[in-house]
């Protein structure tokens, strides 16, 4: 029976992905910054493990607790919506620490076991913002674009060791905790001069007819983890798929 370790399972796409792999009969290591047992089914195939992807000691302890894994899903991420002009560099670094360096650190930590076993899959969850950039998310998009380039290169580098590296590019989902989790970070990032323009952008979010659901992303991660065709990119959700059709 295969084992998947997923980062950021307290809500949203990560939580649904943990449920999906469990329902398919896999062992699941559902990792969270603050572990919560109550959001996932009770099962001897499912463990909740503490993990903050920005902390090396937390990564080491989580992998020690997990034992061997077959698939790593780098799902944990934070959002940022605001005018770049007024975004503090500390906030830029905060976004990269989780979305970019956190993914790299997790990847580096699992590679020795994957390379030694000549088997393993890494699925990196980025965003459809990398497919069609939009305004007011320049820092967020940059953090995810970095992972797109990282993953595309690494896929070639690890081919000889039979380690596969994949991208899942979800569309916009208004129903996860993504926006509320980023609320404090975004305060004051729409100055007066940007307000009319930003207002039109925010209004357009409410008019979207096709949006992504957490189950679209769980299904995309499942397909990426089990892909044997060499496909790198898995857009997930109707709005993301429309961008590449």
Closest separation in Å from C-beta 38 to ligand NAP: 14
Closest separation in Å from C-beta 159 to ligand NAP: 25
Check binding of 177 to ligand NAP (CB under 6 A). Answer: yes
Q: Which stretch binds ligand NAP (CB under 6 A): 37-45, 85-93, 105-113, 176-184?
A: 176-184
| Phi, psi torsion values for 234, nearest 5 degrees | -125, 85
> 76 or 142: whose CB is closer to ligand NAP?
76
Nearest partner of 45 among 22, 70, 11, judged by Cα: 22
Closest separation in Å from C-beta 45 to ligand NAP: 20
Q: Which stretch binds ligand NAP (CB under 6 A): 63-71, 114-122, 167-175, 219-227?
A: 167-175
Closest separation in Å from C-beta 175 to ligand NAP: 8
Q: How many residues make up the chain in this entry?
A: 245
Check binding of 34 to ligand NAP (CB under 6 A). Answer: yes
5, 30, 40, 78: residue in contact with ligand NAP (rule CB under 6 A)? 78
Check binding of 76 to ligand NAP (CB under 6 A). Answer: yes
Evaluate whether 120 touches 109 at the Cβ level (below 8 Å). no
Contact pattern for ligand NAP over residues 3 through 32, marking x by CB under 6 A: ----xxxxxxxx-----------------x
114-153 residues in contact with ligand NAP (CB under 6 A) are: 125, 127
DSSP 128: G
d(CA 40, CA 15): 8
Evaluate whether 42 touches 111 at the Cβ level (below 8 Å). no
Torsion (CA) 210, 215, 217, 222 in degrees, nearest 10 = -140
Identified catalytic residue from 13, 140, 172, 194: 140
Check binding of 70 to ligand NAP (CB under 6 A). Answer: no
13 carries an active-site annotation: no
Q: How far from 64 is each of 54, 59, 60, 138, 156, CA to CA, in Å?
A: 17, 9, 6, 36, 28
d(CA 170, CA 123): 12
Output the 3-class SS for 55-107. Answer: CHHHHHHHHHHHCCCCEEEECCCCCCCCCHHHCCHHHHHHHHHHHHHHHHHHH
Contact pattern for ligand NAP over residues 208 through 237, marking x by CB under 6 A: ------------------------------
| Phi, psi torsion values for 71, nearest 5 degrees | -135, 135
Check binding of 178 to ligand NAP (CB under 6 A). Answer: yes
Give catalytic residue positions.
Answer: 140
The residues that touch ligand NAP, with contacts defined as CB under 6 A, are 7-14, 32-34, 51-54, 75-78, 98, 102, 125, 127, 170, 172-173, 176-178, 181
């Amino acid at each position: 029976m295969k084992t998947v370790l997923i980062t950021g399972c307290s809500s949203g796409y990560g939580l649904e992905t943990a449920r999906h792999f469990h329902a398919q009969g896999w062992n699941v290591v559902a990792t969270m910054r603050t572990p919560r047992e109550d959001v996932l089914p009770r099962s001897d195939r499912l463990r909740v493990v503490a993990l903050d992807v920005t902390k090396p000691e937390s990564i080491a302890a989580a992998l020690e607790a997990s034992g061997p894994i077959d698939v790593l899903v780098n799902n944990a991420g934070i959002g940022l919506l605001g005018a770049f002009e007024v975004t503090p560099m500390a906030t830029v670094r905060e976004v990269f620490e989780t979305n970019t360096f956190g993914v790299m650190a997790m990847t580096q930590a699992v590679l020795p076991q994957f390379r030694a076993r000549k088997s393993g899959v890494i699925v990196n969850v980025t965003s459809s913002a990398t497919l069609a950039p939009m305004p007011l998310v320049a820092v967020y998009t940059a953090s995810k674009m970095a992972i797109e380039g990282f993953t595309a290169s690494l896929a070639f580098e690890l081919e000889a060791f039979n380690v596969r590296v994949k991208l899942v590019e979800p569309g916009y989902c208004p129903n996860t905790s993504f926006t509320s989790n980023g609320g404090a970070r975004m305060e004051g990032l729409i100055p007066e001069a940007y307000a009319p323009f930003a207002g039109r952008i925010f209004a357009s979010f409410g008019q979207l007819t096709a949006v992504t659901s957490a189950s679209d992303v769980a299904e995309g991660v499942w397909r990426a983890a089990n892909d044997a065709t060499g496909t790198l990119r898995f857009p997930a959700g109707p709005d993301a798929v429309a961008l590449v059709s």
